[in-house]
Amino acid sequence: MLLSPITLLIIFILWLGAYLFASYLQRRGILSFDYNRDVLALGAIALATIGFFWRILFTKTWMPNGGGDLVSFLYPNYSFASRYIKKGIIPLWNPYLHGGAPFAADNQSGLFYPINLLFFLLTPELTYLSMELLAVFHFFLAGASMYTFLRYVRFPQISRISALAGSIAFMFSDLFVTHFGNLNIIAVAAWLPLIFLFYHRGVIGRRNGSAAASGLFLGISTLAGHIQITLFIVLTLLLYTVYLTLLHHDLLSRGHLAFHLLICLLVAFGLASPSLIPSYEMAGHTLRAELSYYEASRYSLPPAALVGLFIPGIFGRGPGGFWGPWDRVEVGYVGVLTLFLAALAILFRRDNLTRFLLGLAFLSLVLAFGGYAIPHGWLYRFFPGFEKVRAPARFVYLMDFSIAALAAFGLDSILHPLPKKQRALFHRFLALLTFVLGGVAFVLIPLLCHAVLLTQGKEAFDRNVAALNGTIFFALLLIAGLALLYIRRYHLARRRTIGLFAVFLVFFDLASLGAYIDLEPNDPTVGFFHPEAVGFLKSDKTYYRIDTGTGILGVWQPNTSLLYEIFDVTGLWNPLQLADYKRYWDAVGRCGLRSSRLYDFTNAKYVIGLKDVTLDWEKFTPVFDGDPNVNIYLNTKALPRAFLVHRALVVDDHETALERIQEPGFDPSTTVIVEGGKPLDIHQMGESSVEIVSYSPNEINLNVMTSEEAYLVLSEVFYPGWKVYVNGKEEEVLRANYAFRAVYLKPGRKEVCFVFEPLSWKVGLILSSATMIGLLTWGLLSLRRRS
């Protein structure tokens, strides 16, 4: 399904209505500024967004190449969230992947992000096209946010054309283009200009309300779910506060600066608490609890890659064409003319904001070097939060933000008459660029042509040709940019015309080099569609899990189970996977993997495997071969999801439990290893039964009957926040078999209810509600005082 002309017409009508309404309000004097032209500029940003993504909007083409995280991770997650939000259920727990894991606490879920919530509620059925449109919308949001920042961050305001050029440079900069498939990243990144705008107005004008508004937008962006980008934004605000503190020598001003930063961070933390507090709790239980500096510095920006600031494709830019001798990372390309205009801003302007943006660009570039330069190590060691994230190259996001803003200031400078001193600088700058163009045209390009002619071997030939094409395109962009600047020098066109040409050139540059690098000609969701196999699995009405960890990645998407609500012992690799569950599976591997009883305990009743998969044929038997790519095999020894055992061994610590379950002869069908609780060793068992009455993400209800003392053991992952009620009375949930759950039961009939009610979620909800009530009250009181 493609974006229809009707949808496009509706978007146009809405924009036209907003423009006409703003014009009416302006004529009536209700709006003090000519805001209708700002609406016109936002329409241009929307048009640029549609023009950039025309292939995925109007043709059968997909992004990103191969689908990336957008298809394999976010699409199933958002589908799961959307289904339950429509039912009025907040899915705090995801029972369908990795044996069960927190869902809302995984900040990548973006469950409480307001735009996502609207999206979940308003889309009748979430499709992959819906996910692409959500990503495209955040490109527009980034442009609109940047435009608002550039128009209102300084007085007198810069022109709308200059703000439009800076907005386009930011929204199509390298981080956004590279991470189209990482929706969480671009969703958080899109809010930085608005956050910085209100923070700047708060600290400069000493307006507590503006600082609170900055915190509001920071909190909203944090809920989008990428803590690394949030840390980048917080670091920017902190650096700006420190910078302004150094400019002010009186204690009162410094106190105001610190107070505004505190307001901003408290409001942001309060709003994002439903995600942040559970995420912090979860982080201590995941694989990211301890991240070595080697891992944290992976995906650093190599200094050699800086040539990509001018020729982004010289080492190959797309997923299939990259050939550099390092991990593929973003290099910060933001356009050739953008760099020239930013340089002019640095030459012409001496204000504090320009100096700060220049310093931010330089510092973020140094930090992007990661393991190639020492400052990133200091950040990892001494700044909370950075010890749990990797990919330092993403710091180029802050550099691109700064360069785009400086480019808007530089363009605005040359669209106005230049003082004599600035004219002299402008002329020297043009001479320097002309010299650079001569070097590229008469030295670099001939050398590359010579290298191409001497190249032997197709692979090396293709690389040299790509470098030559990139260099020639850079020369053409350099010529176009120089022509624009020479037209301005000799007054060969009106300044408005020059500004419009600059906007077009920035868009042409970034769209030509970025719009097609990550396209996918084939539907990336094909790996989810196995109707016959899914139909077979759905026909089994018992509670069971499947095992898809058999090397079927090319034909079966790892998170397919989440899309169809089928329980799976595996799933797509997730850095926030619970560490205990991962260690349990390591133990399963050491004990014989699918031949071991530890494997049977996970409730893995069916294995999805290729036609030629090798299994332990004494316990596995084929039961379905109606799918063209995979078969389904029955594990004849799989244990039920919940059952009773009458023999319990109590251990004192967690590591001992891991050792005991790996001992030869341990049989989880008759014995449970519990941490705490009461030891049992009953040999004469009478009548007993376990029935799962209902099962939802946050609650499991069972009817149990036992004639003897027993432990009800579930192959459900243990995690703080799970509570159990036996006949309405709360009992203790015990760790069973290292990573799972059990509860001690006395003889008799029992109604057992497991409920996921984490304290961290409740505290986060209370803090968020209090913050929203406080902001609303503050806003109403402010309006009353003004009236």
Strand runs labelled E in 63-156? 93-94, 101-102
Write out pLDDT tens, residues 469-523. Answer: 888 999 999 999 999 999 999 989 999 999 999 999 999 999 999 999 889 899 9
What is residue 506's predicted lDDT score, i.e. its pLDDT? 97
Strand ranges of the sheet holding 604-610, from the earlier edge strand across to the other edge? 545-547, 604-610, 630-635, 620-624
Q: Which two tokens stand for residue 480?
A: 């176009």
Closest CA to 144 of 217, 199, 229, 241: 217
- Report if residue 113 sits inside a domain: no
Tell whether 507 and 581 lie within a shared domain.
no
581/653 same-domain check = no
Tokens of 338: 């953008």
Cα–Cα dist 24/22, whole Å: 5
For the stretch 92-112, pLDDT in tens is 999 999 999 999 999 899 999
546 and 650 share one domain:
no
What's the mean per-residue pLDDT of the chain?
Answer: 90
Among 152, 119, 117, 111, which Cα is nearest to 136's?
119
Looking at 607, 635, 663, the residue that finishes a domain is 635
Say if residue 647 is in the same domain as residue 750: yes
pLDDT in tens, 378-420: 999 888 888 888 899 999 999 999 999 999 999 999 999 999 8
479 and 557 part of one domain: no
In a domain, residue 737? The reply is yes
Under 8 Å between Cβ of 751 and 701? yes
**Span 241-286, pLDDT tens digits:** 999 999 887 777 788 889 999 999 999 999 999 999 999 999 889 8
Confirm whether 448 is domain-assigned.
Answer: yes
Residue 688, domain extent: 642-756
Whether 451 and 507 map to the same domain: the answer is yes
Q: Is the pLDDT of residue 3 over 60?
A: no
Residues 480 and 573 grouped into a single domain? no
In a domain? residue 457: yes
**Domain membership flag for residue 33:** no
Q: Which of 309, 313, 317, 316 is nearest to 333 (CA)?
A: 309
How many domains, the chain?
3
Residue 546 in any domain: the answer is: yes
pTM of the model: 0.93
Residue 89 in domain: no
Considering the domain architecture, whether residues 611 and 687 belong to the same structural domain is answered as: no
Closest CA to 399 of 450, 364, 371: 364
For residue 294, being part of any structural domain is answered with no
- Among 464, 482, 513, the domain boundary falls at 513
Same structural domain for residues 596 and 688? no
DSSP for 349-382? --SHHHHHHHHHHHHHHHHHTGGGSTHHHHHHHH
Percent of the chain predicted with pLDDT > 70: 95
| pLDDT band at 22; cut points 50, 70, 90 | low
Q: Which candidate, 616, 669, 594, 661, places its Cα nearest to that of 639?
A: 669
Model pLDDT, residue 445: 83
**Which tens digits make up the pLDDT trace of 652-707?**
899 999 999 999 989 999 999 999 889 999 877 778 899 999 999 999 999 999 99
Cis peptide leading into 64, omega within 30 of 0? yes
Fill in the amino acid letter for 547: D
Q: Which of 602, 635, 668 finishes a domain?
A: 635
**Judgement on whether residues 477 and 567 belong to the same structural domain of the protein:** no
> Do 686 and 724 share a domain, yes or no?
yes
Question: Based on the domain organization, do 655 and 571 belong to the same domain?
Answer: no
